[in-house]
Structure 1
Amino acid sequence: MSLIWSEDLLRRALRQPAGPTSDFDLNPDVAPPAGQLRQAGVLIAFHEDDGRLVLTKRAATMRHHPGQIALPGGKVDPADADAIAAALREAHEEVALPPDQAEVMGTLPAHRTVTSFAIRPVVAVIRGSFTPRPEPGEVAEAFCLPFAHIANPALYRVEGRFWRGTWRSYHAAPYGPYYLWGATARILWSLANRLNAA
Structure 2
Amino acid sequence: MDDQHSAVPATDPFALFDAWFAEAKESEPNDPNAMALATAEKDGAPSVRMVLLKDHGPNEREGGGAGGGFVFYTNAESRKGREIRANMQAALLFHWKSLRRQIRIEGPLEEVGAQQADAYFHSRARASQIASAASDQSRPLADRADYLARIEALEEEYPEGDIPRPPHWTGFRLIPRRIEFWLDRPGRAHDRRLFTRDGAGGGWSDTLLYP
TM-score (norm 1): 0.25
More helix by share: 2
Higher relative contact order (CA 8 A, sep 6+): 1
TM-score (norm 2): 0.24
